[in-house]
Amino acid sequence: MSATLSNEQLTSIANEYGTPVYVYHAEKITEQFHKLQSAFRQSKSRFFYASKALTNINILKHIHALGCHVDCSSINEVKLAVLAGFEKENILYTSNGIAFSEIEEAVELGVNINIDSLSNLEKFGRKYGHSYPVGIRLRPNIMAGGHLKISTGHEKSKFGIPIEQLDNILALVEAHDIFIAGLHVHTGSEIKDVSVFMKVADIFFDLVPHFRELVYLDLGGGFKVPYREDEEGTDVPLLGEKVAEAMQRLKDAYNRDFEAWFEPGKFLVSECGYFITQVNVMKQSGNTTFAGVNSGFNHLIRPMFYESYHRIANISNPDAPIHTYTITGNICETDTFAADRQLPEVREGDLLVFYNAGAYGFEMGSNYNSRFKPAQVLVIKGQPHLIGKRDTFEDLLRNQVEITF
């Protein structure tokens, strides 16, 4: 049975910690990681949690305790990973358009590094030569992902070194004797089609002969998780089977045994998350009934930014007759969470829960309109633990410096 939190548990947490509040279920994260381990048991695969999805230190510690590794998108995420207890060899830093000084810091910390530009690759070669193994992030010119804004492998994407610049890469490698330990391709997020990952494997098949010291082939992340009631996620067991076949094909062709690396973020934490809000006001306008909640895109921006869908439930009145509502926020912008959504009768004061809120929810939050960021609660073995305090007014002023006029 899948690990879930009940309406009663969520209501109790809302009553104890107030709303809006983010709630995470530790056992669901564990369940998702075990799915990966089971699906990829036939290959030498390593999983690096894409920590940008949710960086609370307690989540990182739980991920570490499971035996999962960690992927970082900034030097500060690397430092958080170190603080959470991850060993340097189990930390991956995949840079993107960053100053070379960040790469230098990552080298000082001794972590795995993927470089995504010819410019930084040249600087890296000049300074470190063959002394420090490094990976290269490539852009394969593959369009994939659930939305253009989360598609990272197409020909107009800023991410990675375009694969047609292979000759430039090889020239730098030779000129500076760079130790290329890995090749990395991440095509996007919300990828359901297993064949997309196999296209990446085919690209690696052609590239492997050019790099004599390769240890790993990094296929990125982006596994799809179901957001809608009728959706299915990536067939992870099938993907594991196909990856094992691809790795065996490489071994047979080149007599080289590679590790397959993956960077799941949303897959591990999306379904563990619940975002609980309370209805402030009901408003009728023509045929539209608005339910205005005590949150906005300052807390959950995905529906406005990506046009993403989140299941919503009225846990205060779950058995009432169904009506149609447009769920909106309290921010002075257009912040519609869901339009024309069918829910059990919604009343002022009811609790509405947004599901699949663990990834890129709190993490992309802000203090826009000088609103407070919500509290965060982690449920472990049925017991809620506060892992992030709700902002106070003092937090709004914390980094401001008053001057005398």
Query: Structural domains in the chain?
Result: 40-269 (3.20.20.10), 273-397 (2.40.37.10)
Those residues with Cβ within 8 angstroms of residue 93's Cβ, 6 or more apart along the chain or in another chain:
71, 72, 73, 75, 77, 78, 103, 106, 111, 112, 113, 114
Amino acid at 72: C
Predicted local distance difference test score (pLDDT) of residue 143: 42
The two tokens of residue 58 are: 């307690």
The alpha-helical segments, DSSP class H, found in 208-280 are 236-254, 266-269
Q: Tell me the CA distances in angstroms from 261 to 45, 48, 137, 184, 215, one per residue in order.
A: 6, 7, 13, 9, 10
Cα 388 from Cα 365, distance rounded (Å): 13
C-alpha 16/C-alpha 311 separation (Å) is 24
Is residue 376 within 8 Å of 387, Cβ to Cβ?
A: yes
Q: Which residues contact 393 (CB under 8 A, 6 or more apart)?
A: none
Q: What is the DSSP letter of 324?
A: E
List the binding residues.
222, 302, 306, 333, 360
- Which stretches of the chain drop beneath a pLDDT of 70? 1, 142-157, 188-190
> Are 187 and 142 in contact, with CB atoms under 8 Å apart?
yes
Confidence at residue 97, expressed as pLDDT on a 0 to 100 scale: 86
Which residues touch 245 (CB under 8 Å, ≥6 apart)?
A: none
What's the pLDDT score for residue 155? 55
Is 332 assigned a catalytic role?
A: yes
Closest CA to 58 of 358, 372, 366: 358
Closest C-alpha to 250, from 286, 288, 293, 198: 198
Per-residue model confidence as pLDDT tens digits over 50-106: 999 999 999 999 999 999 999 999 999 999 999 999 999 999 999 888 999 999 999
* Confidence (pLDDT) at 327: 98
For 94, phi and psi rounded to 5 degrees?
Answer: -105, 105
Residues 6+ apart with CB under 8 A from 380: 26, 27
